[in-house]
């Protein structure tokens, strides 16, 4: 059983007047579990139970999504609505919010809004946090640089890849890699000190191991399979190891930089 979720089925309180109860099938019960809870109508009009809604949204998060959409009509639901209608427990809310943040950080790297003019700017050099806005540069008649990380006008020397000199500028991805707990593999014995979160060594996407599989994982973004323990591509790792035994080269240390995907 996943430690983030309760073992029992969740049921709506039939006295809850904030819910619109409906008859008929649970539209998100794709596995025909037949949940006992009454069905309630979510904003898109489909019928759900708290357990089916939790399972569906968890599936979206595990696929790397940071938004919640209906499995039938693809209408987006807000997290506030999902949290209420899925009857999320405190443990579930913690997992959902952390995973949403990780997925959003991974997905939203292509373009950001300039803090000066709010126009969309694409970063050409992903190893440099200082980004020039051509609109602001033209309007101000002098170079205008902003920080890709904290989204404030750039302070300090550049180029730099870690942070600018604005107060509070921090690389959230590196912070997660630095502070995440160690993983305890269920099926790989003898691995000690492996972080539970890694940046894909090919494209830099943040990934979290579910602990129930072998030590290898396939990146959701670049589709490259690599070893979560030694950070080598699977083919290279298996030359001197196997899927379920410790790596001959040991546990790779916590990453201090995010790999940049150059195969585009």
184, 196 in Cβ contact below 8 A?
Answer: no
Judge whether 247 and 241 are in contact, CB under 8 Å: yes
Q: Tokens standing for 123?
A: 């970063």
Per-residue pLDDT, averaged over 244-263, amounts to 84
Q: What is the pLDDT of residues 146-170, one digit of tens each?
A: 998 888 999 988 766 678 889 888 8
Tens digits of residue pLDDT in 113-130: 788 877 667 787 877 889
Q: How far is CA 242 from the centre of its chain?
A: 28
CA 228 from chain centre, in angstroms, equals 16
Assigned token pair, 256: 């201090």
CB distance 203 to 107 below 8 Å: no
3-class secondary-structure state, position 52: helix
User: Is the pLDDT score of 42 beyond 90?
Assistant: yes
* Residue 210 phi, psi dihedral angles, 5° rounding: -90, 0
Length of the chain: 264
Tokens of 168: 């509070």
| Contact (Cβ atoms closer than 8 angstroms) between residue 172 and residue 148 | no
Residue 72 is given by DSSP the state T
* Full set of structural domains in the chain with CATH: 21-107 (3.30.40), 109-170 (no CATH), 172-237 (no CATH)
């Amino acid at each position: 059983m996943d430690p983030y979720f309760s073992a029992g089925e969740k049921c709506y309180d039939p006295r809850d007047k904030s819910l619109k109860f409906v008859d008929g099938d649970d539209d998100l019960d794709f596995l025909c579990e037949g949940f006992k809870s009454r069905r309630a109508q979510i904003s898109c009009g489909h019928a759900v139970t708290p357990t089916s809604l939790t399972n569906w949204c968890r599936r979206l998060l595990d696929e790397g999504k940071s938004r919640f959409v209906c499995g039938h009509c693809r209408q987006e639901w807000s997290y506030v609505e999902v949290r209420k209608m899925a009857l999320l427990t405190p443990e579930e809310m913690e997992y959902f919010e952390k995973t949403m943040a990780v997925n959003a950080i991974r997905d939203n790297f292509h373009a950001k809004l300039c803090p000066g003019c709010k126009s969309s700017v694409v970063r050409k050099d992903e190893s440099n946090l200082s980004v020039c806005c051509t609109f602001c540069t033209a309007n101000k008649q002098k170079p205008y640089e902003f920080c890709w990380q904290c989204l404030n006008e750039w302070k300090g020397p550049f180029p730099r890849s870690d942070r600018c000199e604005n107060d509070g500028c921090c690389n959230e991805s590196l912070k997660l890699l630095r502070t995440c707990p160690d993983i305890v593999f269920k099926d790989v014995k003898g691995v000690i000190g492996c972080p539970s979160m890694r940046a894909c060594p090919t494209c830099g996407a943040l990934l979290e191991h579910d602990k129930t599989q072998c030590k290898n994982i396939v990146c959701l973004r670049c589709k490259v399979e690599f070893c979560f323990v030694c950070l080598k591509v699977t083919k290279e790792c298996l030359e001197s190891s196997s899927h379920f035994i410790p790596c001959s080269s040991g546990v790779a240390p916590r990453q201090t930089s995010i790999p940049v995907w150059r195969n585009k």
